[in-house]
Amino acid sequence: MKKESPRPRPTYALIFRFRDPAELQFMHGHRISAVVHRDISRRFGRLARRVLSRHSPFDEPFSPQFGVWMAPFHMRSWKVGFDVDDQISAMTETGLELVREMLDIELGRAAAMHVDFDFAVLRDPTGQTRPDRLWQALVGRIAELSPDETAPGVSWAELRDIMRHGGLDFHLQPIVSLRDLKPVGFEALVRGPAGGPVERADKLFAAAAYHGLHGELELACVAGAWKAARALPAPYWLSVNLGPELFHAPALKALVREPRDLRRRVFELTEHLPIRAPHKIEAASHPLRRRGARVALDDAGCGYLNMSMVEALCPHIVKLCVTVIRRIDAGPDSLGAIRDVVRRVKRAKAAPLAEGVESAEQFRHVRGCGFELAQGYLFGRPRPARHVLANLGDY
């Protein structure tokens, strides 16, 4: 019997392109636009190395034609849990934000605001590793990238208006102690205007990344969540998400400057890339910690869990992401790896939290692995903050 040939290992590429490369030449002229293109190529190389720091690039980023850049790589998995779609989503969101920062620097913010671009992660199932052949394999799909796939759905001005004039809505999801299954706190989850193109949080943050408003949106979410849940009584705590760079932000310092009890506030450190200089982030969090706030490391295990980073950040809580929990019953190897992570998190004096628990079987494994806290549909779906506050007796 003839053996089947092994399937090729899929290859991937980060793709960045201007929707209208002629626009660059119109703005700067042919000679200057060639210099700008060269400088963007250099910056895109650094950007790609950041985005792919936990994966395996097999060639240097390159520009196959004017206004298009590619960075080829192989996807690297992790034994505790791995989901290709989750990885692509995380890389795309992060890449959008970094591309916008890059264009602000290269073109100036005023000009960059009016430049339309696409950023995507594309897969080649045939496994081409020669850059020219990978380009040929993907060029048709790059040309077919639709603005509907990558456009943010709202303009810069519309998004700014949503953030500044009450367009954000907040839901609360319970976080339970696994000792007695009673809620100890709630995570604030943002929604955009109901029925609009950025109602879903992923669409909202993708639009913010595209328009260079990611940090401003995160700070607006902190302020809005605190306002929406201001009547949340003791002993419940409220958890909000915050990117690591914002621990240094003057706007955050201004937000917490007023006399405010932070003992029932948790800042979830969210980052889709390995955190640079975690000791500096830990030091920047000291003013918040001194006033009683706690720090959680969010989405741990989604490609970037690093115990040395956990030890440097000294978080109070480490949340293992939904990707990990979905695979907790995949077999003894996966279960053993998760148990090991939980033990190491506890040794770092942090409370391990299982995120995305949806079934009784997952709950059984989560408890058996030694998690202390849990969150997921099994314990309660996100509900509007006003509904939760009016019905706390139901939890």
SS3 string, 25-39, reads HHHHHHHHHHHHHHH
Contact predicate 187/173, CB 8 Å: yes
The pLDDT value recorded for residue 27 is 67
Kind plus residue range of the DSSP H or E element containing 383 = strand 383-384
pTM value is 0.75
Pairing outcome for strands 169-177 and 373-375: antiparallel
289 CB-side CA count, 13 A: 14
Asked, as a colleague might, if the bond just before 174 is cis with ω within 30 of 0, I would say: no
Q: pLDDT tens, position by position, for the chain (395 residues)?
A: 455 566 788 999 999 999 888 877 776 677 778 888 899 999 999 999 999 988 999 999 999 999 999 999 999 876 555 678 888 888 888 898 899 889 988 887 767 777 889 999 999 999 999 999 999 999 999 988 866 555 678 999 999 999 999 999 999 999 999 999 999 999 999 999 999 999 989 889 888 988 889 889 999 999 999 999 999 999 999 999 988 888 877 878 777 776 567 889 999 987 656 677 788 888 888 888 988 999 999 867 654 556 778 888 899 999 987 667 776 666 677 788 788 889 999 999 999 999 989 999 999 999 999 999 999 999 999 999 999 999 998 87
- The number of residues making up the chain comes to 395
The pLDDT value recorded for residue 168 is 97
How far CA 127 is from CA of 15, 49, 64, 153, in Å, comes to 16, 21, 18, 33
How far CA 74 is from CA of 8, 52, 61, in Å, comes to 12, 9, 13
Q: Which domains does the chain have, with CATH numbers?
A: 11-150 (3.30.70), 156-394 (3.20.20.450)
Contact predicate 70/131, CB 8 Å: yes
- Alpha-carbon gap, residue 290 to 178, rounded angstroms: 28
